[in-house]
Structure 1
Amino acid sequence: MPDALADVRRWAGQPVTETPIKGGLSHRIARLDAADGQHWLLRVLDPRVSQAGLGIPIDQEIANTLRAAEAGVGPRILYRMPGALLLEYLDGATLDARDVRTLPEPIAAACRRLHAGPRFVNDFSIFRKLEEFLTLCHTHGLRVPDGYEDRLPAVARIERALAAHPLPAVPCHNDLLPGNLIRCGTEIRIVDYQLSGNNDPAFELGDIAAEADYDPDLAGRLARAYFGEDDPRLIARVRLNLIMSNLTWSLWFSVHHGLLREQAAAADFDYDAEAADKFARAVRDLDDPGFGRLVDDVRGGRAPGNPDGPPPDDPPGHRVRPPM
């Protein structure tokens, strides 16, 4: 960060002080205060993050950050340096999980603005990311939650259900934990485009719901606020993506802890506990008696002549397989 800070001081032509911001597990960020009273955010991008599969390539993240700013949702890029960005400082309140549970409508509105903005430069699939993480875990001997691979048939079932009636891909953030949501007056702004890419908008909503541990009613409220209609198929789509968020990001913590050991050692964070918690939430929802109904709702209805019975078996198709 010292080199980036020196670059900013030369660019600003005045004294600048920094205050590191803690909480992020990947890139380094700091608030910068200029002598004339201006405030900025410095984001120093660690190439090891994308090299480990924990984020998109740096050039894509920068390009998507620019596009999110054009949509009026992300912070503006004020100055670009090799491997670092000087961003508009959003003078607002960073949300926590409780805030996210009380603000589904403003958050849905922010997502709609982002999704209506310029298309991102890359595509993103939570299913391919899960496969990538599993491969990394097997290749490097990293810890996977007990029973994880027993759930892969359910992952394949979810993917087939979602593919039956796909939604158009839109520019998505894909990692909307509460700390990436900033309340600025009456609007919600979105920061940190480390995992951004064009994706199913229902994953964006499911990810929000997963990170704030929404119950089914609140997930439905978020879906209705975003889509503007009370459609069981769309609500089910969001809830299935909630499961995929918890399943996939549980492995993100395993990979981060295993491949970026220096960063992990410096963080005051229990990676194993977070991975276990996310996986436990996914198992809870997969084992819920209503899981089959969600799958069938997304596919368009229950088996003809059997409105209350179990959903029909899925036809053969793509299956998520553990690496050999």
Structure 2
Amino acid sequence: MAAPELLDRIPLLSGVPRSVEELPGGLTNHNYKVTTPSGAYVVRVWASDGTLLAIDRDAEHANSIAAARAGVGAPVHDYLPGLGVLVVGFLPGCHTFTEADLHDQANLPRVAEACRRLHAGPRFVRDFDMFEVQRRYLEIVRERGFRLPPRYLDFMPTVTQIRKCLAIRDEGTVPCNNDLLPGNILDDGERLWLIDYEYAGNNDPCFELGNIWSESALPPGHLEQLVTAYYGRRLRHKIARARLLGLMSKYGWTLWASIQDGANETIDFDFWSWGMEKYERAVAEFTDPGLTGLMEEAARAD
């Protein structure tokens, strides 16, 4: 439970009646719902400084404000980096998505609409490129002697090919959350909200869509529906692009798990098994004979 002395150092919450409830989820933060007479808030307390994982807390704060302005993120009430705290508004009456919600095809157009709202909003203060993030993660893993999955380096030449093929039809970046696992999507019954901007940055919109697909292990047909809903029409090269970036999502976040497994001693979670599940799905895609055709599809015009 959040220490009373910590809450007392947050001006908005100091010296007022309050109730505190720990919220589930969060692998790099501890999250608490704090209810006061003036309203309810979520206090995010850093579980680590996030340096190894390329989390920039100042950028997270700025990007959270931008997402709120876009009408898709929770309002931001306070930021106290000296305490490792970000305070955002609690969104009442919301259902937190699960994988089952994303497997329900009726929700995919709603998810696409929420992404479009975010992507049309103010630019974020930094960029996010999974090819570069994966490269930095790999340097950390090798320098520190963290565990590397079997054959991980064997796929690096294919990663280079994927990056080159995606550059052919590169259409620029938009502000993306980049971490839309189901728990970061909230449903108030009318619209969806997107939360948690630790990894937010300007990115290819197809990474956002491919990452959603990857995080919930959705069937390929669901990704096609999600991409089609996002663009308003079926675009084969965008669907292929999202699939390739979804593969890069699995490949890159595998190393996130390796770093957490080797460096994080404060959170009781099996990061290695979590990462290996992603890696095994990535290997299946890297070794699929259809990967070359997918790259060709992403590079050609419809």
**Bucket of the pairwise TM-score, normalised by the shorter protein:** over 0.9
The offset of 1:16, in angstroms, is 1.4
Unaligned runs of 5+ residues in structure 1 are: 303-324
1:279 aligned residue:
279
Q: Shift in Å at residue 37 of structure 1?
A: 7.0
Q: Deviations over 1:43-70 (max 9, x none)?
A: 1235521x11x24311111000000000
1:11 Cα shift? 4.4
Quote the Cα distance in structure 1 between the aligned partners of 2:171 and 2:278: 26
Partners of 1:31 and 1:301 lie apart in 2 by: 48
Q: Which residue is equivalent to 1:223?
A: 227
Partner of 2:131: 127
SS of corresponding position for 2:25: coil
Q: Deviations over 1:161-188 (max 9, x none)?
A: 1111102200001111111111112211
Question: How high is the TM-score relative to the length of structure 2?
Answer: 0.93
1:307 aligned residue:
none
1:42/1:84 contact within 8 Å kept: yes
| C-alpha distance in structure 1 between counterparts of 2:103 and 2:11, whole Å | 40
Offset at 1:231? 1.1
> In structure 2, what is the Cα distance between the partners aligned to 1:56 and 1:10?
25
Question: How far, CA to CA, are the matches of 2:88 and 2:291 in structure 1?
Answer: 42
Counterpart secondary structure, 2:135: helix
CA distance in 2, matches of 1:301, 1:14: 60
Whole-angstrom distance in 2 between the partners of 1:126 and 1:10: 37
The aligned residue for residue 237 of structure 2 is: 233
Contact 1:47 1:58 (8 Å CA) reproduced: no
Matched, 1:299 2:260: no
Tell me the amino acid that sits aligned with residue 57 of structure 1: D
Please name the residue that 2:30 is paired with: 28
- Aligned position for 1:289: 289
Structure 1 residues 56 and 271, CA gap change in structure 2 (3 angstroms): closer
1:280 to partner: Cα distance: 0.6
| 1:254 partner letter | S
1:120-172, Cα deviation, whole Å (9 max, x unpaired)? 00011100011011101101000011011101111111101111110220000
Amino acid at match of 1:90: L
| CA–CA distance in structure 1, aligned partners of residues 140 and 235 of structure 2 | 38
**Quick check: 2:110–2:192 contact (8 Å CA) kept in 1?**
yes
Q: Distance in 2 between matches of 1:195 and 1:118?
A: 16
In 1: Cα distance, 2:46 partner to 2:272 partner: 24
Report matched runs for 1:95-134 at 5 Å.
95-102=97-104, 103-134=107-138
What's the secondary structure of 1:137's corresponding residue?
helix
Contact 2:261 2:270 in 1 (8 A): no
The alignment covers a number of residue pairs equal to 295
| 1:19-98 superposed matches below 5 A | 19-34=21-36, 36=37, 38-46=39-47, 48-49=49-50, 51-52=51-52, 54-82=53-81, 83-91=84-92, 92-98=94-100
Contact residue 8 and residue 14 of structure 2 kept, 8 A: no
Larger radius of gyration between Structure 1 and Structure 2 = 1
- Equivalent position to 1:141, from 137, 141, 145: 145
- Quote the Cα distance in structure 1 between the aligned partners of 2:286 and 2:210: 14
Structure 1 stretches of 4+ moved >6 Å: none
In 2, are the aligned partners of 1:56 and 1:196 still within 8 Å (CA)?
no
Give SS of 2:43's match: strand
| 1:187 maps onto 2:191 in alignment | yes
Paired letter, 2:139 = T
* 1:311 alignment counterpart: none
**Partner Cα distance (1:28, 1:119) in 2:** 27
Q: 2-side partners of 1:22 and 1:240: how far apart?
A: 31
- SS of the aligned residue for 2:128 comes to coil
CA RMSD of aligned residues (A): 1.7
Separation of aligned partners in 2, 1:283 and 1:142: 20
Q: What CA distance in whole angstroms lies between the structure 2 residues aligned with 1:276 and 1:46?
A: 23
Q: Does 1:259 align with 2:260?
A: no
Which whole-Å CA distance do the structure 1 matches of 2:74 and 2:260 have between them?
26
- Flag structure 2 segments of 5+ consecutive residues without an equivalent: none
Instruction: Report the Cα offset of residue 206 of structure 1.
Output: 0.3
Q: For 2:19 and 2:251, locate their aligned partners in 1 and report how far apart those are by CA, in whole Å.
A: 41
Contact kept, 8 Å, 1:158 with 1:295, in 2: the verdict is yes
**d(CA) in 1 for partners of 2:172, 2:43:** 34
